């Protein structure tokens, strides 16, 4: 939004698109012509403002995480970078203790089991786990540990993910989802690190969370 405002601020009320000056109306036209000129200039500013705001959208995504009862317990945001995807997760009601959470291969979250999310997002058919040869799944993420109040925020770089570009993009034909498990991932066992049942899920959607 800051970028969009910066672009908009560069448009002078009396300049047209691409910096061409809008001729001042003659005195014969009076206030009505001046008003039309300002309106056209403002429209030119708006035309530049909208694409600038949209330009930031393709590389961002989010998932609202809900438990089996439908209660939202957190939001995960994704941002593409040249080195992978920055995953920013804010949990507000995560059950206390350690939990695995991963990106899964299908953008569908049907409670109570969330089996509809499929297996881990793994476009290159790797082994699961950060601690094994041949690992890891593109959707593997570090465990998260919640305190007694269930509120925790983490940031992690998922080097093997992409939001919307290439073979590792989450926003492909069948989408992707974020799944939270009842226990921690041991980073070794196949296919999901002995992380226990799925307790919460959120479909990955394009753009930042509102």
What does the pLDDT look like over 59-102, one tens digit per residue? 999 999 999 999 999 999 999 999 999 999 999 999 999 999 99
Task: Looking at the structure, tell me whether residues 93 and 188 fall in a common domain.
Answer: yes
Task: Looking at the structure, tell me whether residues 51 and 75 fall in a common domain.
Answer: no
Characterise 174 by phi-psi region: left (phi > 0), alpha (psi -120 to 50), beta (else).
alpha
Q: How many Cα atoms occupy the beta-carbon half-sphere of 45 within 13 Å?
A: 20
Question: Are the C-beta atoms of residues 63 and 205 closer than 8 Å to each other?
Answer: yes
Helix (H) / strand (E) element for 155: namely strand 152-158
User: What is the average pLDDT score of the chain?
Assistant: 78
DSSP code of 169?
B
- With a threshold of 0.85, does the pTM exceed it? no
Task: Looking at the structure, tell me whether residues 28 and 130 fall in a common domain.
Answer: no
Task: Looking at the structure, tell me whether residues 51 and 64 fall in a common domain.
Answer: no
For range 17-24, the mean pLDDT = 40
Tell me the angle at which helices 2-9 and 30-55 cross, rounded to the nearest 10 degrees: 150
């Amino acid at each position: 939004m800051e970028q969009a405002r910066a672009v908009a601020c560069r448009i002078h009320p009396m300049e047209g698109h691409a910096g061409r000056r809008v001729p001042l109306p003659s005195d014969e036209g009076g206030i009505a012509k001046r008003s039309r000129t300002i309106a056209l200039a403002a429209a030119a500013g708006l035309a530049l403002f909208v694409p600038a705001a949209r330009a930031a959208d393709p590389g961002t995504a989010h998932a609202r995480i809900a438990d089996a009862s439908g209660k939202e317990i957190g939001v995960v945001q994704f941002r593409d970078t040249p080195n992978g995807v920055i995953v920013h997760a804010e949990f507000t009601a995560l059950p206390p203790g350690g939990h695995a959470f991963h990106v899964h291969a299908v953008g569908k979250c049907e409670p109570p089991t969330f089996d509809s999310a499929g297996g881990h997002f793994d476009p290159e058919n790797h082994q699961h786990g950060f601690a094994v040869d041949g690992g890891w799944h593109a959707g593997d993420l570090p465990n998260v540990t919640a305190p007694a109040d269930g509120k925790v925020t983490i940031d992690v770089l998922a080097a093997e993910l992409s939001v919307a570009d290439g073979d590792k993009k989450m926003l492909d034909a069948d989408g992707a989802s974020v799944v939270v498990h009842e226990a921690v991932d041991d980073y070794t066992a196949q296919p999901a690190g002995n992380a226990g049942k799925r307790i919460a899920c959120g479909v990955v959607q394009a753009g930042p969370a509102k």
